[in-house]
Structure formats: structure tokens, C-alpha cells
């Protein structure tokens, strides 16, 4: 799941400043702040648990992820035992997976970005973040609504004609005080709702208020959902470009 925070937001999160109004920020600036808040400005590290829920079963996968700007991402599966050690790497527009059980490195073609990651409702694109919600979409304000008693901007993201993205459009509800995405609806190119994402259990994570539970619900599969629980996140960590290498994805633990 790039699941996808600026320094100035820390002042807002302290509660001493009033909510910023839509007149002060453009929809694009709001989306940028919300996206930065979860991903970090320059680099980041996270530990998460993903629970895949189906009508007759469920299973959990634990993983660690590192990222740097929009060009680099590395994800390591740490549990369960049968998947432990698998890694996924993004460098620029190229992506690979490594499976230690069969000692096989596979380059992921663009056609695989829409496939479910590790059998979940998240896609490879969600985890490796090939696309950008800031650069690949037009942004328009659609009003204001409350989500869980929090006032939110409601913003429409429409894919640019030249953008290679999975979603034709998205609808985001962004908290006015803390730039938290509390809800998102994702639509295909024919404007059919594909899935809904909801953020909850808001906590202070490395100095930032963030939802630590994210629930993804497919629109057409009753009883299906995927839940991400954030155990730890660090922002603006010291990490070099060379960390994101094929050699490291085979040896990192």
C-alpha cells in the first residue's frame, strides 16, 4: 500500500491555530499537504499489519517499508513465515519482486500494477506508488462535509488525459484542521465506484496526527475488505538512493 505531511502542519496539529479555509488554499495545495502528511516530505519508514478479510476466512501479513520522494520504495514482508523475506522494489518507473523461497527476481510490468498485492484488495500501485495524486490529477473543490464529527473539504481528483493511472477519478474528504484523509472513494474510467477507503483511530505518530487504521472496502464484493494497521512510522529519515537496490532487496531483514 506509497497508503499512502509538511513541517508547517505540526503547528496546525498543536491546536493553537484555527482551521484553514478553502479560500486560503487551493484544492491542489490541500491534496499535496494531505498526501505529504502520510508519506513524508522526503523519505519515510513504516511498519504495518495488513489483514485480508473474506466471507469465510481472514489472514494477516506484516511488512516494513522504506521510501524516498516519488522515485524509490522498498517493502519487506516479515510475517507469516511462508511469505517472510519477500521484497518489492521501485526505482523510478521500474519495479521488481524477489521471492527467496525460489530465489527468483521478477520485473513487474505496468500491466501488473492493477493486480491485488499479496492477495489483498490493495493493488501493486497502492504499495509501490507508481502514480501521484498531486501530479497525475486535476483537483476541484466540491464542498464541505463532516466525517466522524470532523469538518472536511470534499475534493474531486480527475485523472489528467496524459496520466497513466488506475483511477479515472477519486473523491477525498480531508480534515480541515489536520489535513487527514478520513475517507476516499475511487472510481474507474467509466465513473463506477470501485472501492472506498476509511481512516480511523487517529493518533500522534512521530509528531503527526494520522489515522492508524485504514479500511479498504471493495464496492462489488460483499464481505470483502482489507484493513491496514500502522504499528510505527518515521518521517524524513536519512536514507540514500543506493539503499533501493536489487542487491539490498535480496539481503534486507
CA angle 49, 61, 50 (to 5 degrees): 40
253 is a domain residue: no
Strand extents, DSSP E, the chain: 43-54, 57-68, 72-79, 87-91, 94-99, 104-107, 137-147, 150-159, 169-175, 181-187, 193-205, 208-218, 225-235
153 band by pLDDT with thresholds 50, 70 and 90: very high
Q: What is the model's pLDDT at position 66? A: 95
All cell numbers assigned to 141: 473543490
pLDDT bucket at 41, cuts 50 / 70 / 90: low
Q: Considering the domain boundaries, does residue 148 fall inside one?
A: yes
Cell of residue 88, nine digits: 518489492
| Spatial distance between the Cα atoms of 130 and 213, rounded to a whole number of angstroms | 23
- Host domain of residue 217: 9-237
Higher pLDDT, 229 or 131: 229
Residue 252 has pLDDT above 60, yes or no: yes
Alpha carbon 61 to its chain's center:
16
Q: What is the pLDDT of residue 4?
A: 36
Nearest Cα neighbor of 219 from 183, 182, 185 is 185
pLDDT at 40: 64
Say how far apart CA 251 and CA 114 lie, in whole Å.
27
Whether 213 is covered by a domain: the verdict is yes
Q: What is the pLDDT of residues 170-191, one digit of tens each?
A: 999 999 999 999 999 999 999 9
Instruction: Find residue 140's DSSP bridge partners.
Output: 156
In this predicted structure, what is the pLDDT of residue 78? 97
pLDDT digit string, tens, across residues 44-92: 999 999 999 999 999 999 999 999 987 899 999 999 999 999 999 999 8
244 in a structural domain = no
- Report the CATH number at residue 56: 2.50.20.10
The reported pTM is 0.81
The Cα–Cα gap between 155 and 128 comes to 24
Is 50 exceeded by the pLDDT of residue 32? yes
**pLDDT, position 36:** 83
Question: Domain count of the chain?
Answer: 1
| pLDDT, mean over the chain | 87
The percent of residues in the chain predicted with pLDDT above 70, rounded, is 89
Q: What tens digit of pLDDT does each residue of 156-166 get?
A: 999 999 988 88
In this structure, the number of other CB atoms found within 10 A of the CB of residue 220 comes to 9
157: which strand partners? 139, 170
- Phi, psi values for residue 120, rounded to 5°: -95, -175
**How far apart (Å, rounded) are the C-alpha atoms in residues 230 and 221?**
25
Amino acid at each position: 500500500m506509497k497508503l499512502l505531511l509538511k513541517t508547517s502542519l505540526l503547528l496546525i496539529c498543536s491546536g493553537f491555530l484555527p482551521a484553514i479555509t478553502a479560500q486560503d488554499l487551493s484544492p491542489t495545495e490541500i491534496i499535496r499537504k494531505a498526501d505529504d502528511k502520510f508519506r513524508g516530505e522526503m523519505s519515510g519508514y513504516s511498519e504495518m499489519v495488513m489483514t485480508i478479510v473474506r466471507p469465510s476466512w481472514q489472514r494477516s501479513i506484516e511488512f516494513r517499508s522504506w521510501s524516498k520522494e516519488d522515485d524509490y520504495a522498498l517493502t519487506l514482508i516479515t510475517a507469516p513465515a511462508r511469505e517472510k523475506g519477500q521484497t518489492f522494489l521501485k526505482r523510478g518507473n521500474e519495479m521488481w519482486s524477489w521471492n527467496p523461497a525460489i530465489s527468483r527476481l521478477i520485473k513487474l510490468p505496468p500491466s501488473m500494477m492493477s493486480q491485488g498485492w499479496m492477495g489483498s484488495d490493495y493493488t501493486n500501485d497502492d504499495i509501490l506508488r507508481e502514480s501521484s495524486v498531486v501530479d497525475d490529477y486535476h483537483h476541484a473543490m466540491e464542498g464541505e462535509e463532516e466525517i466522524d464529527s470532523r469538518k472536511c473539504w470534499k475534493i474531486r481528483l480527475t485523472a489528467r488525459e496524459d496520466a497513466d493511472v488506475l483511477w479515472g477519478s477519486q473523491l477525498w474528504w480531508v480534515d480541515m484542521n489536520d489535513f487527514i484523509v478520513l475517507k476516499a472513494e475511487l472510481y474507474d474510467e467509466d465513473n463506477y465506484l470501485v472501492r472506498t477507503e476509511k481512516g480511523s483511530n487517529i493518533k500522534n505518530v512521530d509528531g503527526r496526527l494520522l489515522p492508524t487504521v485504514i479500511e479498504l472496502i471493495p464496492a462489488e464484493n460483499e464481505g470483502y475488505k482489507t484493513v491496514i494497521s500502522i504499528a510505527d512510522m518515521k518521517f524524513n529519515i536519512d536514507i540514500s538512493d543506493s539503499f533501493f537496490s536489487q542487491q539490498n532487496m535480496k539481503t534486507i531483514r
